[in-house]
Structure 1
Amino acid sequence: MTAARNRLLQHVLALSPLILLAVLTAVFALVDPRVVSTQSLLNIVSQATPIAVLALGALIVLLTGGIDLSAGVGVAFCAVLVASLIDAGTGLSGALAIGLAVMLLIGMANGAVIALLKIPPFVTTLATMVALQGATLAVASKGVLMLKEPWLRLIGVERSFGAPNVIFATALIAIAAGVLMRRTRFGLRTYALGSDPAAAELAGIPVKRQTILVYAASGLFVFLTAFIMISRVPVVTPNIGGTPLLLDAIAAAVLGGTSIFGGRGTVWGTVVGALIVSLLTTALRIFGTDPSSLELYKGAIIMAALMADSAMAYAKARLVAAAR
């Protein structure tokens, strides 16, 4: 009986992000049915797309016990950089290639400082965030840029089968991330590094190189998020993305079951976490919540998620001890 109960509890803990999403949807539907209207649900999923993509990058970094505070501002910098290049006459493919290369280099630089100089991720990425804030303002000399690229509109605005194409694009990114984290050496090494760095090094994993690759991957997802953002909104300003998006992404990752202590987290859980954050934001707006209070609620959500993360870690530790 005890073994069966432990297995049931393990399944509940594994499915907790999905259960939370279902419970919140049911509660909000009772409060105001407009939250679960067809158009509202499509908007929730569509608005979750940039959160989900950036959260996938946060997942990879959090799995190692690190953090990338520069990711949100990096989205703004990359979006403005790509938009400025397009406005200057560079083709879309060329501008995207340059944006990708720059964000990979920034990610690798963060990883190199953390791995080689042993500077904590919090300090390293905080410094990078400040530098990118200045760089964003320097690049955005025109302030506001209008993009009229048909390919961007095709991905971010146009619809297929009644749903925005950006949802399908994000689904493909999530599937690719799932394969990366579960079916490749990179993913397995990332989990090992977060679970026990000393054991990973003893097992022959090149810890320093892996750390650099992890932050390069964060740069990749920052670029993909910027691409999603400029495809959805043709007006690009230095305020796009930024710290609010970073908070949403971290909240999504943690609500999806990612541990801030490293070693635990899934792609599907992170995507569900992004849907939870988007659902909460949409519901609060429909309920008439003051926009200035939204960030307060998001901060409370992150705190609650951290407390839940500690409780889940304790519960799983009890299960492991009971199984022995």
Structure 2
Amino acid sequence: MVSTRNLRRRRILDFSPLILLVALTAIFAVVDPRVVSGPSLINIVAQATPIAVLALGALIVLLTGGIDLAAGVGVAFCAVLIASLVDGGAGLPLAMLAGATAMLAVGLANGILISVFHIPPFVTTLAAMVILQGATLAVASKGVLMLSDPTLRLIGIERTFGIPNIIFLTAAIVTGAAILMRFTRFGLRTYALGSDPAAAGLAGVPILRHTVLVYVASGFFVFLAAVVMIARVPVVTPNIGGTSLLLDAIAATVLGGTSVFGGRGTVWGTVVGALIVSLLTTALRVFGTDPSSIELYKGAIIIAALLADTGMTYAKARLMEASR
């Protein structure tokens, strides 16, 4: 009987991100129905798309106990690089290829420095963030670029059955990420590496190589997030993405149940976390919150999520001990 009760409690903890999303939606529906009206809900989901895509990359890194502080600025650099190439006469496919190659190279460099040279992820990615900030300003010589490519407009602005196409694109990316993390060797090794690196090494996981692959994967999701950003907002500036998007992505992963200590987290939870962040941002704007204060609230949300993560980890450990 005790074990059944503990199992139910563990399931409740596992579904806590979804419970929180439903509770917030119900609360906002009572406080101010404008927040969760039909058009607003669609906008909330569309607004969550770049957050969710970047958060998927953050999920992969956090599962190993690492962090990628360069991801947000990487989105800005990649977006500006793609926009500059298109503006200069290069076709969109070539610009996309250049953007993907650049972010994969950044991820590869980060992975090598962390795994081979044993430089802490925080220091490595912080240095990468500073370098990318300078590179973004160097590439963005014109300051503001307007993209009018019909393909980007099709996937980012136009709608199908009243739903923005960017939501369908993000759903495809999320599905691919779910398959990657659940049914492939890469996903299994990532969870193993974050849960117990020593045991993973004894089980045959190539620690150095897989760590490099994790940061390369993060770089690829940075590229995908940049594509989603420029598709939704064709006005590209050096300020696109950046630290604000990184904060949203980290908040989404932690709110979605990902442990900052590694080994625990899901794709679906990360997506739910992105929806929570988007919902809270929309609610703050509807309530007339000063735009300069929104980041303050986001920081508070991240701290609260970290405290909740610590509490959930402790509660699950106690439940597992009680069920033995």
Flag whether TM exceeds 0.5 (same fold).
Answer: yes
Separation in structure 1 between the aligned mates of residue 287 and residue 102 of structure 2, nearest angstrom: 41
Residue number in structure 2 paired with 1:215: 215
Q: Which runs of 5+ in 1 are unaligned?
A: none
| Deviations 1:50-72 (CA, angstroms, capped at 9, x unpaired) | 00000000000000000000000
Give the aligned residue type for 2:254: V
The separation in 1 between residues aligned to 2:143 and 2:285, in whole angstroms, is 28
User: TM-score normalised to the size of structure 1?
Assistant: 0.99
1:292 correspondence with 2:292: yes
Q: Which amino acid aligns with 1:163?
A: I
Task: State the Cα RMSD in Å.
Answer: 0.5
Does structure 1 residue 316 correspond to structure 2 residue 316?
yes
Q: Secondary structure at the match of 1:292?
A: helix
Letter in 2 for 1:317: A
Q: Any gaps of 5 or more consecutive residues in structure 2?
A: none
Q: Give 3-state SS (helix, strand or coil) of 1:166's partner.
A: helix
Give the partner amino acid of 2:246.
L
Cross-structure match for 1:82: 82
Q: Give the Cα–Cα distance (whole angstroms) in 1 for the partners of residues 201 and 7 of structure 2.
A: 32
Does 2:23 align with 1:17?
A: no
Contact 2:35 / 2:283 at 8 angstroms: preserved in 1? yes
SS of structure 2 residue aligned to 1:13: helix
**CA contact under 8 A between 2:2 and 2:323: conserved in structure 1?**
no
TM-superposed CA distance for 1:5, in Å, is: 1.1
Alignment of 1:234-273 (within 5 A): 234-273=234-273
1:181-196 equivalences under 5 Å are 181-196=181-196
Report Cα offsets for 1:204-223 as digits up to 9, x if no partner. 11000000000000000000
Give the counterpart letter for 2:288 in structure 1: G
Q: How do residues 73-152 of structure 1 correspond to structure 2 at under 5 angstroms? A: 73-152=73-152
Per-residue CA deviation, residues 53-107 of structure 1 (Å, 9 max, x unaligned), is 0000000000000000000000000000000011111100010011101100100
Measure the CA separation in 1 of the matches of 2:89 and 2:291: 38
Question: Match of 1:195, as an amino acid?
Answer: S
Counterpart position of 1:50: 50
Aligned length: 324
Letter paired with 2:183: R
Q: What's the TM-score, normalizing by structure 2?
A: 0.99
Q: Secondary structure at the match of 1:9?
A: helix
Overall identity of the aligned pairs, in % = 74
Q: What stretches of structure 1 move > 2 A for 4+ residues in a row?
A: none
Per the alignment, residue 68 of structure 1 pairs with: 68
Distance in 1 (CA, whole Å) between partners of 2:124 and 2:41 is 38
Find the residue that maps to 1:221 and give its secondary structure. helix
Distance 2:263 2:234 in 1: 38
